[in-house]
Amino acid sequence: MLERLQKIIARAGIASRRHAEQLIASGQVRVNGKVVTELGSKADPERDRIEAAGKLVYFPESKTHLVLHKPPQVVSTMADPEGRRTLRHLLYGVPGRVFPVGRLDYAASGLLLLTSDGDLANRILKAAARLPQIYWVKVKGRLQPEECRRVEQQVRARLRPLRSPHAAGPQAANPWYEVTLSEARRDLLRRNLVLLGHPVEKLRRVRLANLELADLPEGRYRYLEAGEVAALERFLARTVKAPPPSKVRRAG
């Protein structure tokens, strides 16, 4: 059956659908030996030989889903032209191809989802603005109550001082806070804290949708259980039906 090339490539786990479109436009996709650059082109994955970025498109019987605790100073990609450490250096023993869903900044750490399921990745990326993400944030200097209120008003997310054995505690000179954000508001939080003279020193994502980092050591990964994947599917279904979030007023 004929399908759009970007959908086939994403379903094979080579890249997200958006990245697949870039591969097509840049001449990195071949169908039966011929380069295809037109978006919207179709092929039959059961009959045609399809190559993307030098990789043969095929469909493994089972999908791979895993959670990685990304350390700081690691790029959230499988390759980096600048020669920095990438996720590939942390995925020894993972069979087949997986790719990250979303990103964490180079200096940030925490939960990162990787999968070979292109359709699932595409659905997560489309819902990214609505998916709750919990972060632990360490700031420079202690936020005063009025500063907390200002940040919360601008970002529309509550800052809760952390009381955890993994954090220094709310009475520390540079305390940690817990905050629930979408990916878009993460950058807004950074900007508001800088404006107040409290730049972010460390940022760690500890939860994405229903997935939790828990006590997974830094630099290690674990496979998702079938129940976790099913719960993520249900979470995405509910998120798609939810009303869109209201616009966030940016700091002046």
Q: Over the stretch 176-223, which tens digit does the pLDDT of each residue have?
A: 999 988 766 788 888 889 999 999 899 999 999 999 999 999 999 999
Q: Per the domain annotation, does 108 fall within a domain?
A: yes
**Which residue range forms the structural domain that includes residue 139?**
133-208
141 and 187 fall within a common domain: yes
Give residue 171's pLDDT: 66
Return phi, psi of residue 89, to 5°. -70, -15
Binned at pLDDT 50, 70 and 90, residue 27 comes out as very high
In this structure, the answer to whether residues 92 and 70 fall within a common structural domain is yes
- Note whether 139 and 204 are same-domain residues: yes
Residue 127 belongs to a domain:
no
Residue 60 confidence (pLDDT) above 70: no
CB atoms within 10 A of CB 157: 20
pLDDT tens figures, 215-248: 999 999 999 998 899 999 998 988 766 555 554 4
Question: Does residue 141 share a domain with residue 190?
Answer: yes
CATH number at residue 31: 3.10.290.10
In a domain, 124, yes or no: no
pLDDT at 184: 65
State how far the Cα of 199 lies from the Cα of 192, in Å rounded to an integer.
Answer: 9
Residues 168-180 as b/e (b if ≥16 CB within 10 A, e otherwise) read: eeeeeeebbbbbe
What is the CATH classification number for the domain harbouring 72? 3.30.70.580
Q: What is the pLDDT of residue 36?
A: 94
Whether 105 is catalytic is: yes
User: Based on the domain organization, do 204 and 225 belong to the same domain?
Assistant: no
Do the Cβ atoms of 30 and 50 come closer than 8 Å?
yes
Catalytic residue among 48, 80, 105, 119: 105
C-alpha dihedral sign at 135, 140, 143, 147: negative
10 or 194, greater pLDDT: 194
Q: Is residue 95 part of a domain?
A: yes
Predicted TM-score of the model (pTM): 0.70
Residue type, 81: P
Number of domains in the chain: 3
Q: CATH number for the domain including 171?
A: 3.30.70.1560
* pLDDT for residue 249: 45
Q: How many residues does the chain have?
A: 252
